């Protein structure tokens, strides 16, 4: 199983970036996919998720209207389009895959990428 994030970088406040996550080794089109970030000295913070079949999208309040999650099941790739970036968006962004949702609300299998760094600074 591999999740490989890319697209991070350094931008000025108000700028945009598009993150990608290339997935392999599992059934991507049946996995709940999410982006999670971790800022220096802080714990992980959920950003957004997308349902595999309905395409329903969910966002943390702090990114609503600025970030858009999407997926291309034909390419096994997850995206996060980030606009109007703020310094507080600076973090390591991770791609997460959840497979086989259990009645407990956890997943039978869960996978993580290595992360891509996003830095927003003037």
86: left (phi over 0), alpha (psi -120 to 50) or beta: beta
SS3 content of the chain, % helix, strand, coil (to 5): 5, 55, 40
- Reported as a single tens digit per residue, the pLDDT across 12-64 is 999 999 999 999 999 999 999 999 999 999 999 999 999 998 889 999 999 99
State the pLDDT at residue 106. 87
- Reported as a single tens digit per residue, the pLDDT across 75-105 is 999 999 999 999 999 999 999 999 888 888 8
Q: Are 31 and 97 in contact (CB under 8 A)?
A: yes
**Phi/psi of residue 55, nearest 5 degrees:** 75, 10
Please name the residue that has the structure tokens 């997308």.
50
- Reported as a single tens digit per residue, the pLDDT across 4-24 is 999 999 999 999 999 999 999
Q: Are 47 and 36 in contact (CB under 8 A)?
A: yes
State the pLDDT at residue 29. 93
Q: How does DSSP classify residue 62? A: G
State the pLDDT at residue 13. 98
Distance from chain centroid for Cα 19: 8
pLDDT at 66 over 90: yes
């Amino acid at each position: 199983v591999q999740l490989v994030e890319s697209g991070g970088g350094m931008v000025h406040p108000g700028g945009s970036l598009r993150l990608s996550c290339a997935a392999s080794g599992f059934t991507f089109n049946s996995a709940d996919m999410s982006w999670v970030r971790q800022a220096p000295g802080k714990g992980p913070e959920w950003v957004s998720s997308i349902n595999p079949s309905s395409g329903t999208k969910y966002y943390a309040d702090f990114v609503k209207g600025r970030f858009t999650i999407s997926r291309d099941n034909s390419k096994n790739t997850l995206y996060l389009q980030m606009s109007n970036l703020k310094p507080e968006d600076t973090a390591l962004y991770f791609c997460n895959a959840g497979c086989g949702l259990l009645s407990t609300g956890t997943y039978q299998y869960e996978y993580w990428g290595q992360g891509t760094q996003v830095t927003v600074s003037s």
